[in-house]
């Protein structure tokens, strides 16, 4: 199995993941087939297992959690998602802080684990984000000019100043 990095986080996941958008399989012939599928995936080097709280009213998370508990947790990368309705209440859906916190608590119980490695917003419309360095740390402001010296005290000179400072008071 080959593994890929998740951005610059240091987390490595298998190129193949096993998603578990399954229905409630308890007591069906498909239950054993699905358990064998998870085992085959794990034995083949798959470490990334994904689910969502809304799949089959939480049954998919409960099923996957039950199957995965036989494997060492430290070898697994487990993710789930939040957004879709998980109940009839007015706040049982969406990306409010309330719904996210209540959903993650239920997901952890469902999956019989203490933590998730990744938690996804199941939908990207209507949410706010905070961008990192939207002006490329000043490169897009015109502060830095090609062929000219770097402006004294600018962000790009901070590392050099702190490394050459004898007492560190410039940091």
CB contact set of 77 (below 8 Å; sequence gap of 6+) = 11, 13, 14, 47, 48, 49, 117, 118
Contact (Cβ atoms closer than 8 angstroms) between residue 53 and residue 91 = no
Q: Rounded distance, CA 117 to CA 136, Å?
A: 29
Secondary structure of residue 32 in the 3-state scheme: helix
Q: Rounded distance, CA 31 to CA 51, Å?
A: 16
Q: Which H or E run contains 13?
A: strand 12-14
Q: Please pick, among 55, 83, 115, 144, the residue that the annotation labels catalytic.
A: 55
Contact (Cβ atoms closer than 8 angstroms) between residue 5 and residue 47 = no
119 is catalytic: no
Residues carrying an active site annotation: 55
């Amino acid at each position: 199995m080959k593994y890929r990095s998740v951005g610059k986080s240091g987390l490595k996941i298998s190129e193949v993941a096993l998603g578990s958008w399954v229905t409630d399989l308890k007591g069906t012939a498909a239950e054993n087939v699905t358990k064998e599928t998870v085992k085959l995936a794990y034995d083949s080097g798959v470490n990334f297992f994904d689910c969502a709280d809304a799949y089959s009213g939480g049954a998919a998370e409960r099923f996957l959690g039950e199957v995965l508990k036989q494997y060492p947790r430290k070898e697994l990368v487990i993710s789930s998602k939040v957004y879709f309705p998980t109940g009839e209440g007015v706040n049982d859906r969406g990306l409010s802080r309330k719904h996210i916190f209540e959903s993650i608590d239920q997901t952890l119980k469902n999956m019989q684990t203490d933590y998730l490695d990744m938690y996804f917003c199941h939908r990207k419309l209507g949410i706010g984000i905070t961008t990192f360095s939207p002006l490329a740390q000043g490169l897009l402001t015109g502060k830095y000019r090609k062929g000219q010296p770097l402006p004294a005290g600018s962000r790009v000179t901070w590392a050099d100043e702190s490394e050459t400072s004898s007492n560190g008071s410039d940091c």
